[in-house]
A and B are shown apart, each in its own frame.
Chain A
Amino acid sequence: GAGVSQTPSNKVTEKGKYVELRCDPISGHTALYWYRQSLGQGPEFLIYFQGTGAADDSGLPNDRFFAVRPEGSVSTLKIQRTERGDSAVYLCASSLTYRGNTGELFFGEGSRLTVL
């Protein structure tokens, strides 16, 4: 597609449920990032994929959060046993990776997660 696509755009769930958020990056972009944006805050880094592997997952808040990218394109962010504090907008971004890449990321519109 032309841009980064995220689904669902909105997800309402109950505390304790399992949630999956999907990201389809720009075709050909090898790098994929997940960020979380809470109300009134800037986006916070969660995890970065280079191809199929998670190159940096230092931003995942705890072991309830997990992400995969099995074929090096689409990625899924998985949240187990959701808590009210997980409510936020989850942003996905992608970029090219090559020597000299200076860092511009292309963001999707986000998935708004509300945990009741």
Chain B
Amino acid sequence: AQSVAQPEDQVNVAEGNPLTVKCTYSVSGNPYLFWYVQYPNRGLQFLLKYITGDNLVKGSYGFEAEFNKSQTSFHLKKPSALVSDSALYFCAVRERVTGGGNKLTFGTGTQLKVEL
């Protein structure tokens, strides 16, 4: 079975500092990896995805993620954090299902807190 792990329940960072939210994965075959963000009382929002190609993927709101096949990791990064980045972040891996659909398996989430 495919899975992702987010080892940190919470990450604290000062505004203006770089941030990293960690994710490791376990899949059979080539991984399709995603990051989603969840703001309070809001639905999950897509940030970025890795399918193939460059290991550094750029996404919304200045976020990027680095795919590392040897370490089976897909860490989310941002060079300079903002207080407004404070939210719950989920890593996910795709599993192809019958009919052409895409079933995502999510990690347990990492709460990012950016402080002034």
The size bracket of the interface on A is 20 to 34
Interface residues of A in 78-116 (CB under 8 A from B): 91, 93, 95, 97-99, 101-110
The size bracket of the interface on B is 20 to 34
B102 in the interface, Cβ–Cβ < 8 Å?
yes
B102 A95 Cβ-Cβ under 8 A: yes
B73 in the interface, Cβ–Cβ < 8 Å?
no
Partner of B102, one of A3, A103, A109: A103
Interface residues of B in 45-96 (CB under 8 A from A): 45-46, 49, 51, 90, 92, 94
A56 B43 Cβ-Cβ under 8 A: no
B49 A43 Cβ-Cβ under 8 A: no
Contacts A31-B101, A50-B99, A97-B99 given: A104-B46 contact, CB under 8 Å?
Answer: yes
Closest 5 interchain pairs by CB?
A: A42-B106, A50-B99, A103-B102, A55-B99, A107-B43
Residues on B lying within 8 angstroms of A by beta carbon are 32, 34, 36, 41-46, 49, 51, 90, 92, 94, 97-109
Residues on A lying within 8 angstroms of B by beta carbon are 3-4, 31, 33, 40-45, 48, 50, 53, 55-56, 91, 93, 95, 97-99, 101-110
